[in-house]
Structure 1
Amino acid sequence: MQKFIARQPILDRGENVVGYELLFRSADEPFSHIEDADAAASSVISDTMTLYGIHELTDGKRAFINCTRNALVNGRAALMPPDRIVIEVLETVEADSDVLTACRVLKSAGYVIALDDFRNEQHSPLVDLADIIKIDLLATPESETEETLRRYRERGIQFVAEKVETREQFQRSIEQGYSAFQGYFFAKPRIMASNDIPPAKLFYFSILRAVTAPEMDVRKVADNIKHDLGLSYKLLRFLNSAAFGFRNRIRSVRHAVALLGQAEMRKWISLVAIASLGEDKPPVLFETALTRAAFCESLARRLGAQSRQEDYFFLGLLSNIDAILGRPMKSALADLPIAEDVRQALLGTRNSLHDALQAVISYEKAEWEKLATYTSRVRLRDNIFPELFLSSVQWCRRIPFREVINAGSHAPQPAI
């Protein structure tokens, strides 16, 4: 099934694009038909993260995302990366204690907060948390607009003029002190389409993003995992399997980190997250990713890149993430904070990691001429590959991922 989303640019005084507002669309039509605002907000958040990728949608600019009360209070807004997002609090959101608490948490986590279609009487309790105020020029009397600008400009808040439809409105808004502008004068919303990925996978993708970050926040990852009974059960069942052979039962992610170390836990959590993302796909896809991960990690040691074994592991693990997610590789990788040379290698740019991965894939496919080419580039003898491949396959077979991923989620909530 195809899903749709629209984006409308937001420009500065020099008419340079500084961001895009992302808008719900139920079909390839110029206007939205929103019957359930919560479902629409949830769809935009989910599709932005799992279908399109923020970078792909916004060309690296900030994405302005409309958030309902539920999106704020239930934590869904916090699944998005704070350095790429502007949280737009909709004009329909009442600034009650739960909303204020949620916005304070988002603010402390580094999110930029905007108040959409600002009207003094309903949004004033949120102004102390706002970085941006958006004003609808067509719906707001100019006298009220000028009062808002006068009252809040000294706080360092930026103002965005919405519904700018003429050059005259644009120039007048500049004179009034607006710093950014949005409306049909610049561009109508552009609709983009993509094949659907179930919204439930947003959570698994957010976990994968967290564990591929340069510095994994163990507390945050553990807290996120415990909110999904199925994933936490799968992970702990996985870690307590015979493949690890721990004498004492592991009862929490933090306990596992203490035993295994952060680098190892990063690997195991990513394995379970990717397997969960691909649980509706043929098992061979995950088996291939797992074998390549072990194979590439082994090559890192042979290449004298012991300090980068983790990067080589993710190089192999993510080598078919496009097939697992059903998205182009560029889009699949857009919001994963992996090392840049790993990203480029996966996108086909020739570097040492690309050549190492292609050597692994060439051996896997019995393409001997290609294997000779790539082993020559990385300065390895191809006669080491049979042993490394066999070891990787055997290691993969010891991992009980089928049993774990298919495990039911009706177990008691484990401690995290």
Structure 2
Amino acid sequence: MFAFIARQPILDRDKDVFAYELLFRDGKGGTFPEPPSEKAKGLIEQFNPLGLDDLSAEKKSFISFSAETLVSRFPTNLNPEQVVVELGENPYKESGLREACEHIKQLGFKLALDDPMMLSGNHEALPLVDIVKVDISKIRLEQAHKRISQFTDANVQLIANNVNDYDVFNDCRDLGFDFFQGYFFASPTARIAREIPASKMSLVELMGESSSEKFDLSRINGIIERDAALSYLLLKFINNPTVNKRYKITSLKHALTYMGEVEIKKFIALLSLTHLGSDKPLELIHMSLVRAKFFDLLTQHRKRQTNPPIGFLVGLFSLLDALLDQDMLDIVKQLPLTDTVNDALLGKSSEFNHYLSLVRAFESALWMNVIKQSKALDTDQKLLHSLYNQAIVWGNSVRATISSHYPRPLLN
């Protein structure tokens, strides 16, 4: 596959990840790129190419193809169980494209049509497609309501695209949309000035310990031992093969000896965040994990402070406003974090402002912004892609560790 890819989650009605759409930097409009040149192949090999399993974490991958690629160069190595083929234009536009799509369907692939205005509801192409993607920013919900039965009657599933707040998500779910693409889950449902519940204060204490320059093992042990679930998950994290492939860790003290205090600080911060946001979609935690690892790798590359692991903490906590449905200013007043972390979370750090702009560019496939931030940080773009890819793989692995112990979010 290709190293220069962004991914965007597609969630189901329960706010669980159904699939990831993959957007390719080297393809026009994010489509699957043309076969790379020899020079491009060398760059791909050098900068950490990823497979679909690495990118999509065993979820389906939506991949958009140009008509020309579908007709003459459709890649034969893709698995129809993993990939949904996305079309950017009506497959009945020309006979060659229709025949290619019919052949792709015979191979076992599902077809998704990107139809922003729901125009295909009256079109002969509808029986050929399995999923239609609708740009909610380009159509009135009243208009969608009138047309939605045409799709459901044809047994076609609908994706609402550009769903960027919970009100729109709820409206689209009520209308009957099956899936939702957009970062609505990474925004607060309602910003309410309230205190963190007393039942979660042990998590707050752990967050404070993770950002402290000192390391008080007995204090941390005392906090974790109060909560059997925290103790269990800590050992699950530390014995994750991504982190520790050689030794069975049996206690926090053992982990400290083996891993060192910086890594332990990362994990207690991660534990805190996981439990603090236990009523939110798991994908929100997943985004926080990827950001944490990306910021951590970038901080190390730029030789910034690593104990406490400031980059990791800022990335991990960068979505706290969505996790807690509060303004970040109200949140940091309640957390015993260092001034460095607080300033970064409040947008007062030039260094971390660049990091946040960069990670948002990767999340949304805003490639020109990636170029802009790479110049601002004086860091090679290809290296930034490589670091982000590493963060995705790490985030997928940690997500797999916590997912079986993570409560399903309540429908709002």
Band of TM-score, shorter chain: 0.3 to 0.5
Question: Quick check: which has more Rg, 1 or 2?
Answer: 1
Q: TM-score, normalised by structure 1?
A: 0.47
Q: TM-score, normalised by structure 2?
A: 0.48
